[in-house]
């Protein structure tokens, strides 16, 4: 089976597209082609059954239509059994491929609640966000009727598409056991000294970065020796100055450290230096229905968690007893959650080991892969009989 994975936004080595879908489909003997923008020079050559067809990457949003057009034209020149699009803006491309490639299965991978995500897009004027969100919701559902298969990452997102008369399957964003490697065998332990708080992900206002820094300041006032390490891209870049000014004003320059985006293969050594992982998404947008992959990566690395107290993340952490949920709008509450682990080192080890067990037994990509391949095969049978 030849599977073409299409994106106009994601990087060539995206976690879900490349590190999960492409690598593991190729390992099962399928031919995989990625049609994505800005492919690094060292990844252009086909390896292990994966081929790259690079397209131009738009340098500004008004020019994204050029990238979308190139994705479409490149897909037309790439005969495949399955075409899978990963961005809502590629849904028109998916509809055209269904018409022009009648023997191919066309799939839309719904990776987020796109209409809700629009409500937190800083580059859309606040007065327009509700209108744009409603329009996007109607268009996304309308065009989704014309693909052959929908993939969803969480149940609430899938529920929103139930009225769409298209076959649907859940394929969750869990980490691959093979990639985690020995990290699963090394639970986190804290034996005193500096207590390190870890966060990996987008550095944005809606991710609670300022609230976390205020929590670090509160912990320092309480006399606790803590460090906070944040790794990821700034969104927008101008936000970085505001955060750095806050760090300086609180006297935390030697306690809060910012790291660039860490390549996936090096994320595990970074996480294993931490003693707690935090996810502090502020209320609103799609955060209530999201299950960020970092949640499961923290668990795989043996970290206990301090997370927001609402939505799927809060529910999972409470039900699996792998961390604490807090009111993330209150820095003192965040500090209380972190302080609990700092003062209860046995809980650090216990909850960290529980998280690793859940990843080994349930929250891993291998548990999703068979369902994904079966959905492709069944879709092709329906299409070609």
Same domain, 158 and 190: no
Helix (H) or strand (E) holding 35: strand 31-37
What is the per-residue pLDDT for 42? 61
Confidence of residue 274 (pLDDT cuts 50, 70, 90): very high
Could you tell me which of 201, 268, 267 has the C-alpha nearest to residue 234? 201
31-37 vs 50-55, strand pairing mode: parallel
Same domain, 207 and 352: yes
Same domain, 337 and 376: no
What is the per-residue pLDDT for 46? 47
What is the per-residue pLDDT for 238? 93
- 215 pLDDT more than 90: yes
Same domain, 148 and 189: no
Structure tokens, 98: 């269904």
- Looking at the DSSP assignment, which residues form a beta bridge with residue 82? 3, 105
Could you tell me which of 310, 311, 340 has the C-alpha nearest to residue 323? 340
Kindly report, residue by residue over 131-151, the tens digit of the pLDDT.
Answer: 999 999 999 999 999 999 999
Strand order in the sheet with 256-259: 256-259, 226-231, 195-200, 276-279, 305-308, 323-326
Same domain, 213 and 112: no
What is the per-residue pLDDT for 43? 65
Confidence of residue 283 (pLDDT cuts 50, 70, 90): very high
Could you tell me if residue 279 is left (phi over 0), alpha (psi between -120 and 50 degrees) or otherwise beta?
Answer: beta
What is the per-residue pLDDT for 47? 61
Residue 9: which CATH number? 3.40.50.2000
pTM for the structure as a whole: 0.92
Same domain, 142 and 285: no
Same domain, 187 and 320: yes
Structural domains of the chain, count: 2
- 302 pLDDT more than 50: yes
C-alpha distance from residue 352 to each of 144, 179, 345, 356 (Å): 40, 18, 11, 6
Same domain, 257 and 123: no
What is the per-residue pLDDT for 44? 56
Same domain, 130 and 185: no
What is the per-residue pLDDT for 59? 80
Report the C-alpha gap between 181 and 80 in whole angstroms. 32
Structure tokens, 232: 């990821």
Same domain, 373 and 347: no
Report the C-alpha gap between 381 and 6 in whole angstroms. 22
Cβ 98 vs Cβ 108: under 8 Å: no
**What is the span of the domain harbouring residue 307?**
179-361
Same domain, 220 and 336: yes
What is the per-residue pLDDT for 27? 93
Is the Cα dihedral 37, 41, 46, 49 positive or negative?
negative
Report the C-alpha gap between 79 and 26 in whole angstroms. 17
The rounded mean pLDDT for the chain is 94
Same domain, 161 and 194: no
Report the C-alpha gap between 328 and 335 in whole angstroms. 10
Kindly report, residue by residue over 230-264, the tens digit of the pLDDT.
Answer: 999 999 999 999 999 999 999 999 999 999 999 88
Could you tell me which of 122, 129, 66, 75 has the C-alpha nearest to residue 99? 75
Cβ 148 vs Cβ 105: under 8 Å: yes
C-alpha distance from residue 136 to each of 113, 126, 133, 215 (Å): 11, 15, 5, 36
Kindly report, residue by residue over 42-92, the tens digit of the pLDDT.
Answer: 665 546 679 999 999 888 888 999 999 999 999 999 999 999 999 999 999
What is the per-residue pLDDT for 60? 84
Report the C-alpha gap between 157 and 170 in whole angstroms. 10
What is the per-residue pLDDT for 61? 86
Residues in the chain: 385
DSSP 289: G
């Amino acid at each position: 089976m030849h599977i073409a994975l299409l994106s106009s936004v994601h990087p060539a080595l995206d976690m879900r597209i490349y590190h999960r879908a492409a690598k593991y489909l190729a390992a099962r003997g399928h031919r995989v082609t990625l049609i994505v923008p800005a492919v690094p020079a060292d990844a252009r050559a086909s390896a292990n059954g994966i081929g790259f067809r690079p397209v131009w990457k738009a340098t500004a949003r008004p020019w994204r239509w050029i990238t979308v057009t190139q994705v479409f034209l490149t897909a037309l020149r790439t005969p495949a059994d399955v075409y899978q699009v990963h961005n809502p803006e590629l849904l028109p491309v998916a509809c055209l491929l269904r018409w022009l490639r009648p023997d191919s299965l066309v799939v839309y991978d719904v990776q987020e609640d796109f209409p809700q995500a629009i409500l937190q897009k800083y580059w859309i004027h606040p007065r327009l966000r509700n209108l744009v969100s409603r329009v996007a919701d109607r268009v996304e559902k309308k065009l989704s009727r014309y693909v052959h298969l929908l993939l969803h990452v969480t149940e609430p997102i899938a529920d929103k598409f139930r009225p769409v008369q298209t076959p649907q399957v859940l394929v969750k964003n869990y980490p691959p056991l093979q990639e985690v490697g020995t990290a699963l065998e090394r639970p986190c332990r804290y034996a005193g000294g500096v207590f390190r708080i870890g966060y990996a992900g987008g550095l944005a206002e809606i991710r609670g970065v300022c609230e976390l820094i205020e929590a670090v300041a509160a912990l320092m006032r309480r006399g606790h020796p803590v460090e906070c390490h944040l790794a990821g891209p700034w969104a927008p870049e101008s936000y970085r100055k505001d955060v750095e000014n806050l760090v300086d004003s609180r006297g935390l320059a030697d306690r809060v450290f910012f790291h660039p985006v860490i390549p996936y293969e090096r994320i595990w050594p970074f996480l294993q230096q931490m003693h707690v992982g935090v996810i502090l998404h502020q209320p609103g947008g799609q955060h209530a229905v999201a299950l960020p992959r970092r949640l499961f990566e923290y668990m795989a690395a043996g970290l206990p968690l301090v997370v927001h107290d609402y939505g799927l993340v809060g529910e999972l952490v409470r039900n699996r007893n792998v961390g604490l949920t807090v009111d993330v709008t209150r820095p003192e509450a965040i500090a209380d959650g972190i302080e609990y682990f700092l003062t209860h080192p046995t809980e650090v080890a216990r909850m960290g080991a529980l998280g690793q067990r859940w990843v080994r037994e349930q929250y891993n990509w291998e548990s999703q892969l068979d369902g994904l391949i079966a959905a492709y095969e069944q879709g092709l049978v329906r299409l070609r009989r």
